[in-house]
Amino acid sequence: MFKKLASIAAIVSSIAGGTVLAAPAAHAEPLCSGSVIDTYDVKDSWGTVASTITLFYDPATRNNCAYNSATSAGGAGSPHGIGLTLDACEETSPSDNCTPIAGQAKSDAKSTYSWYAGPLTVYAPGHCVYVSGSNNYNHVLATFSTGATHCG
Return per-residue pLDDT of the chain as tens, 152 residues. 433 433 433 433 333 343 333 333 456 667 899 999 999 999 999 999 999 999 999 999 999 999 999 999 999 999 999 999 999 999 999 999 999 998 876 766 568 999 999 999 999 999 999 999 999 999 999 999 999 999 98
Secondary structure letter of residue 121 according to DSSP: E
CB 24 within 8 A of CB 78: no
State the pLDDT at residue 152: 87
Q: What is the pLDDT of residue 1?
A: 41
What pLDDT, on a 0 to 100 scale, did the predictor assign at position 20?
Answer: 34
CA-angle at 136, arms to 151 and 94, nearest 5°: 15
Dist CA 31 CA 21 (whole Å)? 30
Can you give the pLDDT at residue 103? 80
**What 3-state DSSP class applies to 44?**
coil
Report the C-alpha gap between 75 and 69 in whole angstroms.
10
Q: What is the structure's pLDDT at 42?
A: 98
Query: Taking the chain, what is the end-to-end CA distance rounded to the nearest angstrom?
Result: 61
Quote the radius of gyration of the chain (alpha carbons, Å): 21
* C-alpha dist (Å) from residue 20 to 3, 4, 15, 27, 133: 18, 17, 10, 21, 39
Angstrom distance (rounded) from CA 93 to CA 149: 7
Across 17-115, the runs of DSSP E, i.e. the strands, are: 35-43, 49-58, 63-70, 80-88, 106-113
Which pLDDT belongs to residue 45? 97
List beta partners, residue 112.
Answer: 81
Q: What is the DSSP letter of 95?
A: B
Nearest CA to 128 among 87, 92, 85? 92
pTM of the model: 0.80
